[in-house]
Amino acid sequence: MLSEKIEHALSAQIRIEAESSQIYLAMACWAEHRGLEGVSQFMYRQSDEERQHMLKLIKFVNERGGLAHISELKAPNVSFSSFKEMFQELFDHEMFVSKSINNLVHIALQEQDYATHNFLQWYVAEQIEEEAMARTILDKIKMIGDDKGGLYLFDRDIQQLTITSSVSPATN
């Protein structure tokens, strides 16, 4: 059974994950409108992934005897001055999500809710991957600079971007 404090904190994270999905969706629309097909496809996939993160939290809360709270969402930014600004916002947002997940882990330990602590470890590992991905993208954007040919290649290549984190399970 979830404590009221844990249930409230997890419901707050549900909202963050839902807003993350909306942020990526807005970025996908912005990129698609500018002909950045690779970037838009990448962002659509990320939006779907964030929605899955939200659903996983909802199921966990409900399975543990709580009631997941579905709240209103803050409207995402829909306008960016450049794709570099957009990806910087993505990185900043992922850092915010990581901080929120770490706070949830802290609360779970304070409440001595080891089942929730164990569940949250998946999110901790996921955020390491998300941060690494965002950092890699920003590094690539810095290499491109203002080169339009580089932007073309970046847009094409981002469709296949995969980051293997140090915490990912080994594949054989």
Residues tagged in the binding site annotation for Fe cation: 17, 50, 53, 94, 127
Instruction: Report angle CA 123, 25, 93 to the nearest 5 degrees.
Output: 45
Binding site members: 17, 50, 53, 94, 127
Residues 6+ away with beta carbon under 8 Å from 21: 47, 48, 50, 51, 54
Q: In terms of C-beta density within 10 A (0-12 exposed, 13-18 middle, 19 or more buried), how is residue 15 classed?
A: middle
* DSSP notation for 95-113: HHHHHHHHHHHHHHHHTT-
Residues 6+ away with beta carbon under 8 Å from 4: none
C-alpha distances (whole Å) from 7 to each of 55, 65, 127, 128 are 15, 9, 21, 24
Please tell me the distance from the alpha carbon of residue 10 to that of residue 97, in angstroms, as a whole number.
13
